[in-house]
């Protein structure tokens, strides 16, 4: 019975979080169809493990050494800009290095989308990374928590 | 099936006529005979053979078992992901390989955050070093 309930919960919880990403262009990147790509590192965390951070959902996606897919990530992130309630973008020579969106969402839940191009951000990695997060937390609080 | 029934009916009618002739009782009432033949034919309608019945039961059981196995395998997999907490899970794919070790995945998250924070120092920092105020 416990197994059934836990399965049922997961079946309900996963589509809900996926649904929240679906309105985003970046959601297409995060929807799971790149998971088996050898250039990708995909980390997805849901629920209580994130309580300390004030988050309910965390999903990071890093692409290494795949120029086409890296460009796809950059394009998807830029396409989501109009959906941002708040945003901070850092560009160098017209190229996006890093960015953050706080996305519009119902209720107290905040959604955040972070982006970083590690090729341009002095990290000497041929990689780009995007992180999507959800939680009942403000950006300032999130910053404080991650700074710890 | 229709043809079979028709054939059966004809057979029965032939038998009935032959019987009537032999017994010298005149022509039988065709309607009554037809009705009788129909009833007989209905009785003779093939029931599934024993083997077919066993096969269908076996197929049903197989479907139930397969479904049970599928649900159970899914559950045990997710249980590995969140051993003591049914409300959460974590999973990672690294170079196409699935990882389920919670601690490793949480470490990866920390590393991601660190990567997001670091390396921005060279850039004039208006650069919203996102997590660093």
Q: Is the pTM of this model over 0.80?
A: no
Residue in B87, B112, B128 closest to A47 by CB: B87
Closest listed residue to residue A119, CA positions, set A81, A85, A86, A93: A93
The residue-averaged pLDDT of A114-135 equals 87
A-chain residue closest to B129, CA distance:
A98
Render pLDDT for A55-82 as a digit per residue (tens, 0 to 9): 889 999 999 999 999 999 999 999 999 9
- For residue B111, the SS3 value is helix
> Are B106 and A45 in contact (CB < 8 Å)?
yes
* CB pairs < 8 Å spanning A and B: 136
Q: Which residue has the tokens 């959604």?
A: A111
Would you give the DSSP letter of residue B124? -
The pLDDT score that the predictor gives to residue B76 is 40
Measured CA to CA, the distance from residue B23 to residue A105 in angstroms comes to 93
The pLDDT score that the predictor gives to residue B123 is 42
> Are B120 and A6 in contact (CB < 8 Å)?
no
Q: Which residue has the tokens 């191009």?
A: A117
Encode burial over B53-67: b for 16+ CB neighbours within 10 A, e otherwise: eeeeeeeeeeeeeee
Least Cα separation, residue A23 to chain B (angstroms):
23
Q: What is the ipTM metric for this complex? A: 0.78
Question: A13: which chain B residues are within 8 Å (Cβ-Cβ)?
Answer: 87
pLDDT band, very low/low/confident/very high, at A3 (cuts 50, 70, 90): low
B96 touches chain A (CB under 8 A): yes
Q: What angle in degrees, to the nearest 10, is found between the helix axes of B2-23 and B30-44?
A: 130
Asked whether the predicted pLDDT for residue B115 surpasses 60, the reply is yes
B-chain residue closest to A7, CA distance:
B75
- Residue A11: phi and psi, rounded to 5, are -60, -35
Q: Which helix (H) or strand (E) holds A20?
A: helix A2-22
Closest listed residue to residue A24, CA positions, set A102, A135, A141, A117: A102
Closest listed residue to residue B105, CA positions, set B129, B117, B88, B87: B88
Q: To 5 degrees, how large is the angle CA A90–CA A94–CA A117?
A: 50
The pLDDT score that the predictor gives to residue B111 is 87
B-chain residue closest to A115, CA distance:
B116
Render pLDDT for B8-56 as a digit per residue (tens, 0 to 9): 777 877 776 666 555 555 555 778 888 888 888 877 776 667 777 788 8
Asked whether the predicted pLDDT for residue B82 surpasses 50, the reply is no
Least Cα separation, residue A11 to chain B (angstroms):
11
- Residue A66: phi and psi, rounded to 5, are -135, 90
Measured CA to CA, the distance from residue B122 to residue B16 in angstroms comes to 107
């Amino acid at each position: 019975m416990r197994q059934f309930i836990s399965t049922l919960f997961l079946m309900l919880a996963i589509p809900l979080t996926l649904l929240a990403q679906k309105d985003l262009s970046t959601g297409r990147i995060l929807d799971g169809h790149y998971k088996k790509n050898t250039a990708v590192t995909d980390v997805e965390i849901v629920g209580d493990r994130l309580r300390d951070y004030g988050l309910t959902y965390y999903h990071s996606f890093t692409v290494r050494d795949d120029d086409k897919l890296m460009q796809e990530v950059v394009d998807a992130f830029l396409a989501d800009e109009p959906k941002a309630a708040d945003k901070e973008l850092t560009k160098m020579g017209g190229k996006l290095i890093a960015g953050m969106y706080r996305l519009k969402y119902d209720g107290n839940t905040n959604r955040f989308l972070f982006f970083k191009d590690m090729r341009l951000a002095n990290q000497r990695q041929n990689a780009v990374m995007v992180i999507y997060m959800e939680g009942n937390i403000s950006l300032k609080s999130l910053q404080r928590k991650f700074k710890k | 099936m229709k043809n079979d029934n028709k054939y059966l009916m004809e057979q029965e009618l032939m038998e009935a006529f032959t019987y009537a002739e032999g017994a010298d009782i005149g022509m039988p009432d065709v309607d009554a005979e037809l009705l009788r033949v129909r009833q007989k034919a209905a009785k003779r309608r093939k029931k599934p053979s024993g083997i077919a019945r066993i096969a269908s039961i076996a197929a049903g059981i197989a479907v139930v078992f397969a479904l049970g196995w599928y649900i159970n395998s899914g559950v045990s997999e997710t249980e590995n992901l969140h051993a003591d907490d049914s409300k959460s899970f974590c999973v990672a794919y690294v170079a196409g390989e699935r990882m389920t070790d919670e601690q490793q995945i949480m470490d990866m998250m920390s590393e991601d955050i660190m990567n997001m924070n670091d390396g921005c120092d060279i850039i004039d920092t208006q650069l919203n070093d996102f997590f660093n105020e």
